[in-house]
A and B are shown apart, each in its own frame.
Chain A
């Protein structure tokens, strides 16, 4: 089993609809981060939520964190074709290391 598993693996929606992606993890964390990757490009940081936070917003993005369930969700509202990308959650667990643990990602397709 993996730290930071996204669900679903793939999601296809119409432009204007909302997209929800979920992430589950297994160990305690300092924070959870969401990244986006467009095809052939690097990862772009979207939002970071700390372990003592429950919800965070950034533009059309809304992230929730439930540490009791060890899960997070990323909501993209009013999706656009440009939101088509892979989305990854990553956890920072501390313990003296700054390494992030990534999931396999959710591939989002927004159809114009």
Chain B
């Protein structure tokens, strides 16, 4: 089966610009997660979708971040306007079941650099 794919792999933008990251989960996986790792810090949870619904968005840092999953397939994460502290690697993951005991399948991440 195809894995979780993320696009783009790298993005360099200027402060104040907008960037949209895309994630295609494994086919059939209803659960989709976004995580982020900023330089030198831990990988942090951003939010969790079940199909097209936001199950938990407690990790979203502020209202400059908007995640969508229209139709319950792929997801986008938009940062508008981007700030310097948004730089980091954004990971998407999916799982078949929404369960504490379901391992996550991660994509390779999008490395975002805000200058």
Q: Enumerate A83-109 residues with CB–CB distance to B below 8 Å.
A: 88, 90, 92, 94, 97-104
Query: Is A42 a contact of B91 with CB atoms below 8 Å?
Result: yes
Q: In the complex the two chains form, is B48's CB within 8 Å of A103's CB? A: no
A33 proximal to B (CB < 8 A) = yes
Which of B55, B59, B100, B105 sits near A45, CB closer than 8 Å?
Answer: B105
Segment of B12-20, B68-76, B79-87, B106-114 engaged in the interface with chain A: B106-114
Chain A CB within 8 A of B63 CB = no
Q: Which residues of A have CB within 8 Å of B45?
A: 99-101
B4 in the interface, Cβ–Cβ < 8 Å? yes
Interface size on A, residues (CB 8 A): 26
With A41-B109, A43-B93 given, can you name 18 additional A-B contacts, CB distance below 8 Å?
A4-B42, A33-B103, A40-B108, A42-B3, A42-B91, A42-B93, A43-B43, A45-B104, A50-B101, A98-B55, A98-B56, A99-B33, A99-B56, A101-B42, A102-B35, A102-B44, A103-B42, A104-B42
Task: Tell me, in angstroms, the Cα distance from A102 to B45 when the chains sit together.
Answer: 9
Number of interface residues of B (CB under 8 A): 29
Which of B's residues lie within 8 Å of A, judged by CB? 3-4, 31, 33, 35, 41-45, 48, 55-56, 58-59, 91, 93, 98-109
CB distance from A111 to the nearest CB of B (A): 25
A92 touches B108 (CB 8 A): no
Chain A residues in the interface with B (C-beta under 8 A): 2, 4, 30-31, 33, 35, 40-45, 48, 50, 88, 90, 92, 94, 97-104
A14 CA / B44 CA spacing, docked (Å): 32
For A103, the chain B residues whose CB sits under 8 A away are 42
